[in-house]
Structure 1
Amino acid sequence: VFIARPGSTDEDDGWLVTFVHDGSNDSTEFVVIDARDFERGYVAQVKLPARVPFGFHGNWAPDRN
């Protein structure tokens, strides 16, 4: 899922968020990647306490308050 950086007008200025499954130990991580700098690696990485099932997906809607 792409999350645009607030206030930016460039279409690639933001982050990609996704789940990464490790089949060797049946675990899942939630990761954040800078959309402009894939080579940097993960901006953030959260090891989840349980595996997220295949086919799980989502979307992003910014808070407009």
Structure 2
Amino acid sequence: MANYRVIDPHGTVVDTKDISSSEDAHAWFKDSRSDNEELGWRLEVEHDGEWAFFSDSEGTKD
């Protein structure tokens, strides 16, 4: 399991969750965005106590 967090375009963490696969994490990220038209949402994963970039909504409106 890995710990993921969703960050809105303003830099606020809106949710965190332990998820077992990267595919499930990406699906959760897409569902977590309140406005699928707004770009700038980020998904980060925690690794060894540090948060790292995983995905974002830049350039896509899916």
- Larger helix percent: 2
Which structure's CA Rg is the greater one? 1
TMscore range, shorter length: 0.3 to 0.5
TM-score (norm 1): 0.34
TM-score with structure 2 length normalisation? 0.35
